């Protein structure tokens, strides 16, 4: 725990070992057992925690399957905390890994996403545009696998928001990585998404949700207005 999350027990550091061996990504992480289940703690500094917690609060205003993040404290410092999404029955396979399977079975990965779980696929593009998430690379989303049948049954819940509110100075956002090989901005991908599944907003997003992050509030509402109009 100390090694994978904090990187500083005794004389060993996780400079070479991060990420934790059971997860991917460049931010230190560690699993902790609590109340009969497993929680994932993520470090990365107060700024990363602030971004992930706020993004998760916003995401919970939409009816998409998602991992929920909240602020926690470990060894006196802020981290984010979330519940495990896998089990003995279900595991996850990244989009990058699935591409190999798709190539060998004459499948188009994106079309498979739309066929088995269009709500989560399009919802991911909506959410990532709204919160300015620039980290949706092919190993940061993928498929939920039934371990008993070895069949993919859906996409796994939308997760990992600690790189949110970047490329947030323009209305277009970053290039959208989840539509490759097509080239689209996050705005274009999100508009396409709401035209397919609507916005699926389940409650109003009060300005108070931004608390100490008011620097992102104006751009968020501009993007939300665009998607709301295109969802009609």
Residue range 90-109, pLDDT digits in tens = 999 999 999 999 999 999 99
Looking at the domain that runs over 90-230, which CATH code has it been given?
Answer: 1.10.1070.20
- The CA distances from residue 156 to 36, 92, 121, 171, in Å, are 22, 7, 10, 28
> Of 79, 77, 78, 3, which is closest to residue 40 (Cα–Cα)?
79
Digitized pLDDT (tens) for each residue of the chain, 232 residues in all = 555 555 555 444 444 444 444 455 556 788 888 888 899 999 889 999 999 999 999 999 999 999 999 999 988 999 999 999 999 999 999 999 999 999 999 999 999 999 999 999 999 999 999 999 999 999 999 999 999 999 999 999 999 999 999 999 999 999 999 999 999 999 999 999 999 999 999 999 999 999 888 999 999 999 999 999 999 8
Q: Are 67 and 159 in contact (CB under 8 A)?
A: yes
Neighbours of 182 (CB within 10 A): 11
pLDDT digits (tens, 9 = 90+) for 151-171: 999 999 999 999 999 999 999
- Between 3.40.630, 1.10.150, 1.10.10, 3.30.200, what CATH number should domain 2-83 receive? 3.30.200
User: To which H or E segment does residue 96 belong?
Assistant: helix 95-104
* Whether this model's pTM surpasses 0.75: yes
* Extents of the domains making up the chain: 2-83, 90-230
């Amino acid at each position: 725990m100390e090694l994978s999350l904090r990187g500083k027990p005794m004389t060993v550091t996780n400079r070479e070992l991060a990420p934790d061996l059971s997860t991917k990504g460049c931010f230190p992480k560690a699993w902790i057992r609590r109340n009969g289940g497993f929680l994932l703690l993520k470090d990365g500094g107060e700024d990363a925690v602030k971004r992930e917690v706020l993004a998760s609060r916003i995401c919970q205003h939409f009816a998409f399957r998602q991992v929920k993040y909240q602020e926690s404290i470990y060894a006196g410092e802020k981290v984010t905390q979330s519940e495990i999404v896998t089990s003995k029955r279900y595991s996850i396979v990244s989009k990058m890994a699935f591409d190999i399977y798709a190539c060998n079975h004459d499948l188009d990965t994106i079309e498979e996403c739309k066929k088995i779980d269009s709500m989560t696929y399009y919802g991911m593009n909506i959410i990532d545009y709204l919160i300015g998430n620039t980290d949706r690379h092919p190993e940061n989303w993928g498929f939920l696998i039934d371990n008993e049948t070895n069949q993919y049954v859906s996409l796994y819940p939308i997760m990992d928001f600690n790189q949110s509110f970047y490329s947030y100075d323009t209305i277009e956002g970053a290039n959208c990585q989840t539509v490759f090989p097509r080239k689209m901005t996050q705005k274009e991908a999100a508009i396409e998404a709401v035209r397919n599944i609507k916005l699926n907003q389940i409650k109003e997003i009060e300005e108070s949700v931004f608390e100490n992050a008011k620097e992102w509030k104006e751009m968020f509402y501009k993007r939300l207005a665009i998607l709301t109009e295109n969802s009609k």
